Structure 1
Amino acid sequence: MLEAQQYSQKFHIEELEQWLEHELHGYGDFAHFPDYRIVECKQLGIFVKPGQQLQHFEEIHDDCLNERDRCVLRYLHIHQSLHECLSNDEEIQQAWPMRILASYANDIIPGYNCVRAWQSYHAPLNERFIQGVLGHLLHLLELNQQPETKDLLGKIGQLCQAEYHLHKAWRRLYSDSPLEA
């Protein structure tokens, strides 16, 4: 990734530079997220019955939400850096926006208040991200071919050989690419 970043800076490939910056340091709220960073997720919440301290943990079903909010919450945009994503097997959580939580707090389960709600994704990201990152990198290099593109692709291929899954993914993606010819 760092070599690709140096390449993009050397040849001023802005789209590649921005994407690599996001992958290395994480995505902000208003960044453009590649498809592999958008995952379908579950909605979970903690509920309390007024006058009691006992909390209940429940899944929040889509039919509890209006269509607009369902569209906002159904997919989780993964903000963390690539390194964090690949080294984390834990659940990824993102709190609901306060305006959405406030509008549903008393309506999801009759007689209970939702005190916290979040989007949840709990599945390994490694395969998804390996395929996504290599595919996106290859696509950006296809769009912005430079004389040194072949050398960079060769170096990426060499780096991928050290890991079986990377090598397998790279060979498949690269063999389908017009850059291989």
Structure 2
Amino acid sequence: MSLLRDIQNSAIDANEPISTLLRKCKILAVRLGSEEFKSWVENELNGYFDRDEIPEYRIMSVGCKGHFSGGFGSGMHNAEIPSRCIPKDFREGLYTSYLAQPISSIESLIEDSDGGTVQEPWPSDVTAHFGMNMYQGMNCLQAWKVVPVNALVGILDMIRNKVLNFVLEIESEDPEAGDAPINSKPVAEEKVNQIFHTYITGNVQNVATGSNNVSQHAIKNENNELFNELLNALINSSGTKESKDQIVGSVEEMRDTQGTSAFKSHYNKFMSLLADHMQVYGPVVAPFLPTLASIVP
């Protein structure tokens, strides 16, 4: 069986560990001579050491819970921690899960879970710092992010789909590409890069397909006019200074992260803030929502 067909069979077999599938992809990356594909496989196998490199499908907005203790033996267990209890500068880090660990660790989390969620603990110093500001008369003893297991399963399925689409496209270019000598580049480097960015990263706009002498960059500011109009509408709205500063800040974060993996988390943060102040800002934001939704990766 050819390597390409072996990878295809592994991708569609739900019982095949993702780590095994990716090791086969590592062999394919070397035979194709694709450094980008090889780097992606290495990161998935070994984890992402730079938060800025974590792909969008490994970043998700989550809820948070905690255990609380009060006076006279009172307390609460597994109580929700509303995001509004946390200063806005800290919310993104505490209410976003950046799944940077090796893919085998995510597989283990799924296997060991019981109850449909897994916990990602808050740093103890953060819990101590904000613990008195969540519920009146209560102190937070322990806090954690609540990560749905089905979201973790979705990450594994997404990787399977990405790999399957990639190898199918490579096979359409050269059915023997997976069995070619190492670094022989059976498929043109430009074509491999195009397929990689189309099916693995989704950043096809970054790829120059016609010439080695062309350098292309993602157009990150194409929607600046939209964001500027939205900002002006919010600034001139009747909301309180505190709420206005929060929602304006989230719009600025979206504007500044267009075209990056961080955009979706800022968009989710914006929608969460909007939900908290729908009566005030809903009518102001409504005309912009369809366009905003269309540019979410």
Normalising by the residue count of structure 2, what TM-score does the alignment of the two structures yield? 0.42
Unpaired runs of at least 5, structure 1: 153-172
Q: How does 1:97-136 map to 2 (within 5 A)?
A: 97-124=123-150, 125-132=152-159, 134-135=161-162
Percent identity for Structure 1 against Structure 2: 23
Q: CA deviation at 1:43?
A: 0.7
Decide which moves more: 2-11 or 66-75. Answer: 2-11
Shift of 1:54: 5.0
Moved >4 Å (runs of 4+): 136-139, 147-150
**Which has the greater radius of gyration?**
2
Larger proportion of strand: 1
> How far off is 1:86 after superposition?
4.2
CA distance in 2, matches of 1:102, 1:9: 48
TM norm structure 1: 0.64
* Local SS of the residue matching 2:25: helix
Deviations 1:80-136 (Å, cap 9, x if unpaired)?
A: 432443461522321123343232111101111101111111231333432245437
Q: Could you say what the CA RMSD is over the residues aligned between the two structures, in angstroms? A: 3.6
2:78 corresponds in structure 1 to: 57
Higher helix share goes to which structure? 2
Q: Give the letter for the 1:23 counterpart.
A: E
Structure scoring higher RCO (CA < 8 A, sep ≥ 6) equals 1
Contact 1:50/1:113 (8 A) holds in 2: no
Query: Measured at CA, do residues 9 and 151 of structure 1 come closer, stay the same or move farther in structure 2, by a change above 3 Å?
Result: closer
Counterpart of 2:25 in structure 1 is 4
Q: Using a 3 Å threshold, how does the CA distance of structure 1 residues 33 and 121 change in structure 2: closer, same or farther? A: same
* Count of equivalent residues: 152
Change (3 A) 1:106 1:29: farther
Structure 2 segments unaligned to the other structure (5+ residues): 1-21, 179-198, 205-297
Structure 2 matches for 1:19-58, cutoff 5 A? 19-28=40-49, 30=51, 32-50=53-71, 52=73, 54=75, 56-58=77-79
